[in-house]
Structure 1
């Protein structure tokens, strides 16, 4: 037996009956020869970690736009925290950790620069709208590796597409990501808001802290425990009391942080930047060569959207400045 076959035999022996076995994957868009060492889901995880769009996440906004300080979350650190929480839940439920991790690591690959402000700006520009989870799937299927995509398994691609609202993923592992995403962003957003001076821990209502706890560690532990204890036979859920406390916390965060004028004042500049870049790159002559085949095959609006959505915050600002801000010039005196 190869190492991969030994791993797959262990999956059949140790995982829950409703877990997604890598030996039963529905396969890839393009058939490939199996790896001797890694299962299909392990290969997917490795491809995601090594792809360019994953590296760009380190310079994309999570909540606070261009914060000063080294300890605020980025889209990359958010992704890693989602992965850690998702793997903890998967392990406790005897589900496939490799599949869970692959979906978690890829779920935000299509996110725009400037966080959800950038997503809203692109959504307003396109007739069919823009949704980051659909773009994340497009990244792995179409945009990575010069248009060849990463050729991931069906289960990973399905988990990426279904990680937010709407249809549930086909696998229990994919369904975990929706909960892990909620748990991660709510708690690290609180942590970042406290660091930014926008929020104090004692501002959180007691009706919430009585259920979830009064620290980040306690909240994360309470939420994970609720998911683990209330998930059965592949259905992933929280108990009603904990979920109501989570929803109350979500409502509180929207008022205290997500709509906070001080925390979000720079976001009012985002639509103009995104609109300007999008309109500029609708001229295919201005697109980089590797994006021109998208314009030819799917139209210039799609190519412009793909290019702008893939930018980091830093690159989008630098590109805008280069294109639209007058430069100083030397008269030779």
Structure 2
């Protein structure tokens, strides 16, 4: 432990209660660009603060989660979803005695690479970038925090610690090696890994695993909630679901005749609690079985430690299938998202042929740039847009712009 971090522990920063398998800020692997220690904050606290103060974080408030950010004030945006993920992830960190600041940092940064209009924008950019390495929101998040945020005098990006970058890139598991999913690794991730190796064949630490499963819990529950608010599903539709159906019957038995808004809230809050408590029980058993001596033992365990029980895993998968069939792929949502894809695709084509239309320094030296460089610059520009800015740009550049409602 460094002298600075050791002094902080003595000042009551709560570092002594960390489990041996937690990531230790005093033993951080450092940053791409070395910086002096802070006398008042751990490396992971500094990461969290840099993330919260970034432009990318602010833009999340006007980016779509499922329903367009301006369709209704009560629907989740990327920002409110991110805050909810952070709250759940910190509950796991507290339960397992992990580093809460690192857990929070990874949760807060995990959606930085999302485009305007959610997955519709991602599909459009992936199609346009097919000849240039494609588009992946996780790789884009890495680009944001290592290159595209240009605020500091001495480096591009946020210069986050190794552990936060590892968590961002690998929170859903290893990207290479025997435990990786059968998917190609995005070039931006491979390029950065060559510069600052992130051990892509290993699992991430428990802090990142906590953020990943918190993401599942948050969007499963809150997409049900938003689907109910939007009228795409009815409360009675939940009866066919193992988890939500059981909870609905429990609430109705305890509170017969409860008005709809209260009934929905009672079901949703219990939905989160039931999933969180299942993860805590399952993970506690996994940790007791493995008994990892340190964070490195977690990384080489060969499986994720933070996990659902088999029964909850199946119930969670059932919920996802229900959401895809009844919310994400319904006619009204798909119609709007198809139009949103068209908006992003048309903007991409216009900027490629007329890069001077991009604002600020984005268009500099673009006319003579190779096609790959132009495409990546346009992609970065578009991916950073909010829903409202993308719509304003489309109205500026085209005669007809869909209303997306």
Query: Does the alignment reach a TM-score above 0.5?
Result: yes
1:250-282 superposed Cα distances (whole Å, 9 cap, x missing partner): 111111111111233211112221111112222
Structure 2 counterparts to residues 175-186 of structure 1, below 5 A: 175-186=209-220
Equivalent residues of 1:159, 1:169 under 8 A apart: no
How many corresponding residue pairs?
327
Determine the C-alpha separation between the residues in 2 that align with 1:309 and 1:181: 21
Structure 2 counterparts to residues 51-90 of structure 1, below 5 A: 51-90=54-93
Structure 2 counterparts to residues 1-333 of structure 1, below 5 A: 4-8=5-9, 13-126=16-129, 127=131, 128-145=133-150, 148-164=156-172, 167=175, 169-209=203-243, 213-214=247-248, 215-231=267-283, 232-233=286-287, 234=298, 235-282=305-352, 283-292=354-363, 299-325=373-399
1:66 CA drift (Å) = 4.7
Determine the C-alpha separation between the residues in 2 that align with 1:53 and 1:302: 18
1:291 CA drift (Å) = 2.5
Determine the C-alpha separation between the residues in 1 that align with 2:377 and 2:9: 40
1:17-48 superposed Cα distances (whole Å, 9 cap, x missing partner): 11001011111110001111010000010001
1:58-92 superposed Cα distances (whole Å, 9 cap, x missing partner): 00000012553211110000000000000001110
Q: 1:31 to 1:241 in 2, by over 3 A?
A: same
What's the counterpart of residue 189 of structure 2?
none
Determine the C-alpha separation between the residues in 2 that align with 1:104 and 1:8: 24
1:199 CA drift (Å) = 1.1
**Which stretch shows the higher mean deviation, 140-149 or 128-137?**
140-149
Equivalent residues of 1:112, 1:118 under 8 A apart: yes
Unmatched segments (≥5 aa) in structure 1: 328-333
1:270-326 superposed Cα distances (whole Å, 9 cap, x missing partner): 222111111222244333333246956971111000000000000000000101127
**Which stretch shows the higher mean deviation, 209-218 or 14-23?**
209-218
Equivalent residues of 1:212, 1:245 under 8 A apart: no
Determine the C-alpha separation between the residues in 2 that align with 1:51 and 1:267: 28
| Structure 2 length-normalised TM | 0.75
Determine the C-alpha separation between the residues in 1 that align with 2:386 and 2:346: 16
1:110 CA drift (Å) = 1.1
Paired residue secondary structure (1:129): coil
**Which stretch shows the higher mean deviation, 87-96 or 264-273?**
264-273
Determine the C-alpha separation between the residues in 2 that align with 1:4 and 1:271: 48
1:141-160 superposed Cα distances (whole Å, 9 cap, x missing partner): 00002571000001111111
1:93-112 superposed Cα distances (whole Å, 9 cap, x missing partner): 11110000001101111110
C-alpha RMSD of matched pairs (Å) = 2.4
Determine the C-alpha separation between the residues in 1 that align with 2:357 and 2:329: 36
Paired residue secondary structure (2:22): coil
Determine the C-alpha separation between the residues in 2 that align with 1:183 and 1:302: 33
Determine the C-alpha separation between the residues in 1 that align with 2:390 and 2:77: 16
Paired residue secondary structure (1:304): helix
